[in-house]
């Protein structure tokens, strides 16, 4: 990443308007139609922040959950509602995972230079559904993989960071048998590729429409959960990654070998309690650790992508005006890979740019 030596003020690259920019906003919780493209004030970066001209943002399950304020796991409903806005959303621009270019840097920022192509996470600030987002330079932001378009790169951080976190916790050894439940989702598709690159033999569980994609990504076996119960397939595993919010804990544990490791991406309260019992009273281990989404992990992902070990699976790209459709596709799971919003004017979104 380029460094800026001795600058004293915020450096800017030109944009269409000095004051107003476009963003997909929502001012009340509700169905996808609450998302609208509006003019908003252009954010200004603080001394330790960067201004990012966003090119692409993944439309994620979390964005949909926050928009509608409906969650598959409910134990954090009240604290989260207090945090994000009781009667209406406090932050009107969603979007946690993006790619784009550095448009300006605050005077204390040395890690980035204007014009750097980047990808990363917007953390609790969100705002990646807007043409410009001001974020702390210390956030998980890194150079965009040179061999990916902006759209492809935006589809990596959510699934990639969470998958890498779980795969490392699992301490996979070559030859380990790994089962990924919900392998066709954002985390699952990255988890599958990372597990394969660590030498695992992977069984992917999802629905039939995703079989071909998962086999292309390296799955050794595929189980269609609508046709077959993986717990009755007669195979046992060293590691089970469970990315399905309402799956059966008992079924996942039943296919673990002695000494096997179970990881849950989206644990219910009951699963959290049961993991403690599993760890205390059985020869298996269970964990629901949440990913920290670190800079080091993002840099590792970029290296893996540039070495050809991970590819990005984008089902569709849509312009800002079709944000409601993007959310509908994510919510109804009518997708085979990520749904990515191209941010900015269509001719500026830079989908083809590498």
Binding residues for ligand NAP, rule: CB under 6 A, are 61, 72, 159, 162, 181-182, 184-188, 205-207, 225, 243-245, 247, 265-266, 290-291, 333
* 111 in Cβ contact with 84 (< 8 Å): no
Helix (H, G, I), strand (E, B) or coil at 72: coil
* 108 in Cβ contact with 117 (< 8 Å): no
Return the sign of the alpha-carbon dihedral for residues 253, 256, 257, 261. negative
Nearer to ligand NAP, 48 or 76 (CB): 76
DSSP state of 144: P
The nearest distance, CB 27 to ligand NAP, in angstroms, is 24
Dist CA 154 CA 338 (whole Å)? 9
Longest Cα separation, the chain:
66
The nearest distance, CB 305 to ligand NAP, in angstroms, is 18
Nearer to ligand NAP, 77 or 348 (CB): 77
The nearest distance, CB 157 to ligand NAP, in angstroms, is 11
* 166 in Cβ contact with 265 (< 8 Å): yes
DSSP state of 245: T
Nearer to ligand NAP, 224 or 325 (CB): 224
The nearest distance, CB 346 to ligand NAP, in angstroms, is 26
C-alpha radius of gyration, the chain, whole number? 21
Nearer to ligand NAP, 148 or 163 (CB): 163
Structure tokens at 112: 């980035």
The nearest distance, CB 62 to ligand NAP, in angstroms, is 7
Contacts of 42 (CB under 8 A, 6+ apart): 15, 17, 18, 19, 20, 21, 132
Nearer to ligand NAP, 64 or 114 (CB): 64
The nearest distance, CB 181 to ligand NAP, in angstroms, is 5
Nearer to ligand NAP, 87 or 227 (CB): 227
């Amino acid at each position: 990443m380029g460094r800026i030596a001795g600058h004293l003020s915020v450096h800017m690259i030109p944009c269409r308007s000095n004051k107003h920019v476009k963003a997909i906003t929502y001012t009340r919780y509700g169905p996808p139609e609450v998302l609208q493209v509006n003019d908003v004030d252009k954010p200004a970066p603080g001394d330790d922040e960067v201004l990012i001209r966003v090119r692409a943002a993944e439309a994620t399950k979390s964005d949909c959950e926050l928009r509608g304020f409906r969650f598959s796991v409910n134990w954090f409903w009240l604290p989260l509602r207090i945090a994000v806005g009781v009667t209406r959303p406090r932050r009107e621009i969603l979007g946690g995972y993006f790619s784009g270019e550095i448009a300006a840097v605050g005077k204390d920022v040395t890690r980035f230079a204007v014009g750097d192509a980047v990808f990363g996470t917007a953390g609790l600030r969100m705002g990646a559904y807007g043409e410009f987002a001001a974020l702390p330079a210390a956030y998980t932001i890194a150079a965009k993989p040179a061999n990916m378009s902006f759209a492809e790169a935006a589809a990596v951080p959510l699934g990639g960071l969470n998958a890498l976190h779980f795969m490392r916790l699992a301490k996979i050894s070559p030859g380990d048998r790994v089962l990924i439940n919900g392998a066709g989702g954002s985390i699952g598709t990255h988890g599958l590729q990372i597990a394969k690159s660590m030498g695992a033999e992977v069984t992917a569980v999802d629905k039939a429409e995703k079989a071909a994609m998962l086999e292309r990504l390296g799955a050794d076996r595929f189980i269609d959960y609508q046709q077959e119960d993986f717990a009755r397939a007669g195979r046992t595993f060293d590691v089970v990654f469970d990315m399905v919010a309402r799956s059966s804990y008992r079924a996942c544990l039943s296919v673990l070998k002695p000494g096997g490791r179970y990881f849950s991406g989206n644990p219910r309260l009951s699963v959290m309690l049961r993991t403690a019992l599993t760890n205390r009273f059985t020869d298996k281990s269970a964990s629901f650790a949440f990913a920290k989404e670190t800079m080091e992990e993002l840099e590792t992902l970029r290296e893996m992508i540039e070495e050809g070990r991970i590819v990005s699976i984008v089902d569709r790209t849509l312009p800002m005006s079709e944000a409601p459709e993007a959310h509908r596709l994510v919510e109804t799971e009518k997708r085979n890979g990520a749904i990515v919003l191209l941010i900015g004017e269509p001719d500026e979104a830079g989908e083809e740019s590498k």
